[in-house]
Amino acid sequence: MKNKYQRMNKEEKKQCKSFYYNTLKGKEMRVRLNRLVVLGVIGIAFAIFLIISGYLSNEINWATWTMAIILIIFSLIFIFGSIRLRVKCLNLYAIKKMK
């Protein structure tokens, strides 16, 4: 039963989420995972700002591109990591607590 959460239908997933997020650990985990997503979105927005401001001021160079690309990569890692951790936590909860 390694992927019990992924095999649930929509109603069961919704029920599992509501039960998990009503627990103390679920509330804490939700705040942390949402914080990771917000940091990822802010990182992507700042990287786009760097590229646009450098382009408009005609001072864009390889250092700006490198910094923006690295920032986008790490921001995407934050976002996808948050999604993977969310599914992993819900899957563990579904295995242990759901019938």
**Where in the chain are the domains?**
40-99
What is the distance between the alpha carbons of residues 38 and 85, in angstroms, rounded to a whole number? 15
What is the distance between the alpha carbons of residues 19 and 14, in angstroms, rounded to a whole number? 9
What pLDDT, on a 0 to 100 scale, did the predictor assign at position 79?
97
Asked if 79 contacts 41 with a C-beta cutoff of 8 angstroms, the reply is: yes
The per-residue pLDDT for range 13-42, each reduced to its tens digit, is 899 899 999 999 999 999 999 999 999 999
The residue among 97 and 78 whose pLDDT is bigger is 78
- Indicate yes or no: pTM above 0.85: no
